[in-house]
Amino acid sequence: MEKTASQIQKERTRELESKANALIKKCDVATLTSINEKGYPRTCVLSIAKADGFSDIYFVTSKRSNISGKATHFEANSKASVCYFIGGDSVTLIGNVEFVEDKDIQKVVWNETDRRFFKKGIDDPKFRLIKFHTIEATFWIEGKFRTCKYK
């Protein structure tokens, strides 16, 4: 029995998703975009603290300012974008950020190299763990392009 066009598209999407998950495992850094206090996008390069595929990505950041900075931006507006790439392959994500307060998760994600910024580790008052959750992904992998929406 021949596959329907819908079945073929679903298989192609699953293949791109699998490759996107493999790609992020190879990436140490990604860009994270917040919306600043004036409504403009602000993109930063950050180390990826942990990634559950491209669906959920964790970053460590600092709450140093009540006026500007990622943490302040995300307190006001959780909308965000993440992009990661290697060579000619890239994944651009749209989604939302939430602050992770759970100490057990913070301990799992914590990296001792971050102690240079956070002397008291996860108990440092400026330490913030953020989790980005994907609602839309645009894949450009091995010359194949696709945008998918998620919940």
**pLDDT, position 151:** 84
109 touches 37 (CB < 8 A) = no
67 touches 37 (CB < 8 A) = yes
**pLDDT, position 142:** 97
**pLDDT, position 82:** 98
Structure tokens at 98: 């939430």
Domain boundaries, the chain: 5-149
**Predicted confidence (pLDDT) per residue in 83-113, tens digit:** 999 999 999 999 999 999 999 999 999 999 9
User: For residue 65, is pLDDT > 80?
Assistant: no
Angle at the Cα of 20 from the Cα atoms of 19 and 21, rounded to 5 degrees: 90
The set of residues, in sequence order, having a beta carbon less than 8 Å from that of 25 and lying 6+ positions away, is: 51
CATH of 5-149, one of 3.40.50.300, 2.30.110.10, 3.10.20.600, 3.90.1200.10: 2.30.110.10
The pTM score is 0.93
**Predicted confidence (pLDDT) per residue in 46-56, tens digit:** 999 999 999 99
